[in-house]
A and B are shown apart, each in its own frame.
Chain A
Amino acid sequence: NAGVTQTPKFRVLKTGQSMTLLCAQDMNHEYMYWYRQDPGMGLRLIHYSVGEGTTAKGEVPDGYNVSRLKKQNFLLGLESAAPSQTSVYFCASSSAPPSSLHFGNGTRLTVT
C-alpha cells in the first residue's frame, strides 16, 4: 500500500551541483506531477506527464528537467542547483483529470 514514494526525503546541495529526485507510484496512474512548495506561495507546478514517454512544462519549469521512461516513475532533475531552488518538492499522480491527486511525502532540498 505504498502509493506515491519519493526519494530522497532530504538533500543538501551546493550551488552548481546537480541531482535527481525520484518519484514512484504503484497505482497505475497515467498522470504524474512535480510541484514545489514555498512559504506563502502554495504549490506551484514544475512539470507534469500525461503518460509514459511524455513530459510538459508547468508554471515554473526553468532550471528543472524531467523524464518519464517508465509509467510508474517520474524523475526530476536539477542540472545546476541555485539557492532559489531551495524548497520542498512534491510528486503526485492521478488518473485522467479531473481526478484527485495522490501525493508523496515530499523532499526537502536546501541549496547553499
Chain B
Amino acid sequence: RKEVEQDPGPFNVPEGATVAFNCTYSNSASQSFFWYRQDCRKEPKLLMSVYSSGNEDGRFTAQLNRASQYISLLIRDSKLSDSATYLCVVNTDKLIFGTGTRLQVFP
C-alpha cells in the first residue's frame, strides 16, 4: 500500500462547480499535512496547510480526519485557473507526496 494515495483523476468540471478531492495516508504517526498545487510542467507550490480543526482560504477548504487517516480538499465556484494537479503531502519524518489529482475546469 502506498503511503499517500490519491485518485489520479482527471476530474473534469464546469466553471462554477464544487469539486472535492480525498487523500488517504497509511502512517498514523503523520504529523502535518499540506495541499500543494502543480501546474503542467511547473514546480509544486503550497496551496494550504491542513489543520486538525479544518481550515478555509477563500474558495478552498481543507479538512483532516485523523481517525480515518484521510485529508480532503474542497474547491467551490471552480475557475478555469484552478485547472492543475493537486498534490496531497504528508509529513511523516519527511514529506511524502501523493501522485496528485488532476483537475480540469472547462467553460
The judgment on whether A and B are partners is: no
B contact set with A: CB distance below 8 Å: none
